Amino acid sequence: MPSLTGKNIIITGASGGIGAEIARLCAARGANLVLLARSIDKLEILKKELQSTYAINVHAQQLDVSDTEAIKAVFFEVLSDIRYADILVNNAGFGIFDYAHEAKIDDIKSMFDVNVIGLMACTSMVLPGMKQRRSGHIINIASQAGKIATPKSSVYSASKHAVLGYTNSLRMEVADDNIFVTSVNPGPIATNFFEVADKQGTYVKNVKRYMLKPEYVAKQVVDRMMTTTREINLPRWMSSGSIFYTLFPRIFERFGKKVFNQK
């Protein structure tokens, strides 16, 4: 694994879940951190924890990634302070499980503003510096939902499909600049994501035994920082399912119908 000592790593959605776990692992490996999220109180607690344990620099700033003007202001301030970013982890995101005909337009816009536009805007703020230095790594937290669409996830899946499309194009664009681009495609993770996505608790109840631990997902991400890893697909058996889905979509949808309708 490449050394992360002294690397400047920006993490969105860092106040909890895999964002916070990624921060902890990066701090343990000597990286300097910029923690961004809407909940500044949680960020300050995490910052205090990390700075009391490791000899690193930690910045914590409030940011709602659905606000592109705020992204410009915060990143300008952050980059003026740390000078450049070695790694950007676009982790902020959320989902709401609804049937397509029941999805609220405001929820649809919010999901795309956070999951897609916000991710692109954050990336655009660090790319010029990475291209100038000919070094960097963009890590986009997508989802297996971006590969396997399921009922009640039409909007969320669409947003993650967009993330994968953007990530794959970006990877080719910056390949000659020695910038790495990785998509992380996990299945369900045991975090507070489902407090919003699955308010009735039906999906969590049905897939609880398959849920990934945030610490495990975070380690897979951090272990591959500053490497040419194209994708991180978790768990592996679900990744195999997405390949089968691509090759035989009709068969997959027919026989997977019972499983898909668990939300």
The alpha carbon dihedral of 179, 180, 181, 184 has a sign of negative
The active-site residue out of 54, 84, 156, 216 is 156
Mean pLDDT of 246-254: 84
- Whether residue 198 is predicted with pLDDT greater than 70 in this model: the reply is no
Does 86 fall in a domain? yes
Global model pTM greater than 0.85: yes
Does 3 fall in a domain? no
Quick: pLDDT tens for 45-84: 999 999 999 999 999 999 999 999 999 999 999 999 999 9
Residue-level pLDDT at 251: 87
Domain that holds residue 102: 8-260
The residue behind tokens 């969320």 is 156
Does 2 fall in a domain? no
Residue-level pLDDT at 262: 62
Number of compact structural domains in the chain: 1
Q: 10 Å Cβ neighbour count for 104?
A: 11
- Annotated catalytic, 166? no
| Predicted confidence band of residue 188 (pLDDT cuts 50, 70, 90) | confident
Does 236 fall in a domain? yes
Mean pLDDT of 251-258: 76
Does 221 fall in a domain? yes
The CATH code of the domain that includes 98 is: 3.40.50.720
Does 224 fall in a domain? yes
Quick: pLDDT tens for 11-27: 999 999 999 999 999 99
